[in-house]
Chains A and B, each alone.
Chain A
Amino acid sequence: MKRNPQAGAQRSAGLRLQMFSDADLDDLHRGTLEVLERTGVFVESDEALDVMADGGCRVDRETRVVKIPPYLVEDAIRSAPSTVRLCGRVPENDVVLEGGRVGFTNFSAGIMVVDPRTGEYRTSTTQDVADLARMTDYLDAIDTYEHAVEGRDAPETTLAIRDAALGLKNTTKCVGTGAMSTYDVDAIVRMGAAVAGGEDELRERPLVYFCECPVSPLKLTKDAAEVILGAARHGLPNNVISMAMSGGSSPVTLAGTLVTHNAEVLAGLVLAQLTERGAPTIYGSSTTAMDLRFAAASVGSPELGMISAGVAQLAQRYLLPSFVAGL
């Protein structure tokens, strides 16, 4: 039988959930702009305060509260790239973060492990850091390696640098690091550059990426600010992960939580873009609800799923790559 071609049919590609309408997203966005302009965020680092003041934010040196005019937020959203490439030591492990592409990575910064060899539940060690990087290298559906656990058998002050070294040595996927200071960022960049063959080469093919967590509500701590500044100056991808707990460090209503969450991430984005226009930035989330009965974060809850889905949609509206809690 002859089935002739069809003229212009609308087809779906992929399965998709749209939790928010355009009007919902507009409201969340406007609410966020209002919070950033009227309430502002606390910024602990002097250097970050300088960058933000020079960039046009209203900075109160005494309280360290920075109020960000809406045009600067809009400008930062537009100047950040909409595609971020996280590269592996081998090109087949490069992964592109953009639009609605769905990828996975491991949990990060655990402090205990269940050892498969002994069944034992114990403190994580540097050997675990190396072993989990190797496992990540093997597992086909995991796209990047996040600093999975802390090597707690070695000094804490150099933990981020040592664990990043173990990551670079033991996996050929992109290594997400847990830098906590300017010194950490610079050291990790030197290690990444050694593997890539130079700092320009590293910028071209980022083998490492950074992340930091603002403290909710509305605080960019010194360590978070230093990592944002450092990553931006080196032109390497950085993930701003807000980790609000609805009902505790953010409003109990999920829409309100998304507003403070959004304000924290966008404040980080503004700092990154004022530091270096075009700095690759990932819109991150580890936000969830606080179970008010136990005063504990409820992970794996319906709230977490809805918040992560909402965050993904907000990031898409901003044409920014997203990183959320999920699996």
Chain B
Amino acid sequence: MAALAGANLIYGAGMTESGVTFDYAQYVLDNDMARMVKHAVQGVPVNDETLAVEDIAAVGPFRDFLSLDATLRHMRTQSQPRYMDRRVREDWEAAGARDAYAVATEAAKQILEEHHPTPLDDGVSAQIDAVVTEAEERGRAR
């Protein structure tokens, strides 16, 4: 509802238990949810191209839209969840039948192992550490 009302920054990703606990796996799932919400609030643009009346005429009742240029062109505009599983049950079972939370837990572990943002320059890092040290000394002195 907040997103539909156009709130600029909606917080809460990763939270469980009314704000006591931060759950890494839930955070990964909420990121997927946030992306889906951003997708939905864009709505459905209506214009000659999106109405696709010519394409509908060309395909008619007996063929499908899979091989159309427009389908390829707009493919990337579709919503693309990473961890919400859209496969049918049979395929999901064949792939190990792991629920969303288990998959997200794996993803969280992998992100923690592999993702390392560019570190700050040593000089900058040292300046930051100096501020922290100063605060800690002040805290001890009080």
- Residues of the A chain whose Cβ atoms lie less than 8 Å from the Cβ of B44: 15
Q: A138 — which chain B residues lie within 8 A by C-beta?
A: 111, 115
Interface membership of A71, Cβ < 8 A: no
Q: A135-B27, A325-B2 are contacts. A169–B125 as well, Cβ < 8 Å? A: yes
> In the docked arrangement, what's the CA distance between A321 and B54, Å?
42
Q: How many chain A residues touch the partner (CB < 8 A)?
A: 95
A17, B4: Cβ atoms closer than 8 Å: yes
Once the chains bind, are B19 and A102 in contact (CB under 8 Å)? no
Set of chain A residues within 8 Å of B48, measured between Cβ atoms: 3
List the A residue with the shortest CB-CB distance to B82: A140
Residue of A nearest to B140 (CB): A155
Apart from A132-B27, A323-B8, 10 more pairs, CB < 8 Å: A107-B13, A109-B19, A110-B21, A134-B116, A135-B108, A141-B38, A183-B138, A312-B6, A325-B11, A326-B1
Q: How far, in Å, is A232 (CB) from chain B's closest CB?
A: 19
Q: Which of B26, B40, B41 has the most A CB atoms < 10 Å from its CB? A: B41
A108 close to B (CB within 8 Å) = yes
Closest to A190 in B: B131
Interface residues of B in 1-36 (CB under 8 A from A): 1-28, 30-35
B55-89 interface code vs A (CB 8 A; 1 in, 0 out): 00000000000000000000000000000000000
Q: Does B139 contact A (CB under 8 A)?
A: yes
In the assembly, what is the distance between CA of A171 and CA of B45, in Å? 35
What is the 8 Å Cβ interface bit string for chain B, positions 83-103, against chain A (1 contact, 0 not)? 000000000000000000000
Max count, chain B CB within 10 A of own CB: residue among A19, A103, A326, A327: A327
- Ordered by A's residue number, 19 sampled pairs between the chains whose C-beta atoms are within 8 Å are A13-B43, A15-B40, A107-B14, A109-B19, A114-B16, A114-B23, A119-B105, A132-B14, A135-B27, A138-B115, A161-B135, A165-B131, A168-B120, A187-B131, A299-B15, A309-B1, A309-B4, A312-B5, A327-B13
B interface, CB within 8 angstroms of A: 1-28, 30-35, 37-38, 40-48, 54, 105, 108-109, 111-112, 115-120, 124-125, 127-129, 131-132, 134-136, 138-139, 142
* B20: contacting residue among A110, A165, A168, CB under 8 A: A110
Which A residues lie within 8 Å of B135 (CB)? 158, 161-162, 183, 187
B128 contacts which of A110, A191, A296 (Cβ < 8 Å)?
A191
Known contacts A138-B111, A170-B117, A172-B118; decide if A165 and B132 are in contact (CB<8 Å).
Answer: yes
Task: Flag if B112 contacts A158 (CB, 8 Å).
Answer: no
CA distance A155 to B18 in the complex (A): 25
B14 and A16 within 8 A (CB): no
- Distance in angstroms from B129 CB to nearest chain A CB is 7
The residues of A that contact B111 with a CB separation of less than 8 Å are: 134-135, 138-139
| Alpha-carbon distance A124/B22, docked complex (angstroms) | 9
Q: A105 to B31: give the CA distance in the assembly, Å.
A: 9
Given contacts A19-B5, A142-B34, A162-B132, contact A106 B11 (CB under 8 A): yes
Q: Does A21 contact B (CB under 8 A)?
A: no
CA distance A183 to B43 in the complex (A): 46
CA distance A284 to B15 in the complex (A): 18
Report the separation of the CA atoms of residues A168 and B117 in the bound assembly, to the nearest whole angstrom: 11
Given contacts A17-B1, A99-B6, contact A112 B20 (CB under 8 A): yes
Chain A hits for B7, CB < 8 A:
102, 308-309, 311-312, 315, 322-324, 326
Q: Is the CB of B2 within 8 A of A1?
A: no
Residue in contact with B24 in the complex, picked from A116, A162, A311, CB distance below 8 Å: A116
Across-interface contacts of B118 in A (CB, < 8 A)? 89-90, 172
Q: Which of A13, A98, A148, A299 is close to B14, meaning CB atoms less than 8 Å apart?
A: A148
Q: Does A157 contact B (CB under 8 A)?
A: yes
Q: How far is the CA of A305 from the CA of B28 in the complex (A)?
A: 22
Residues of A near B138 (CB, < 8 A) are: 183
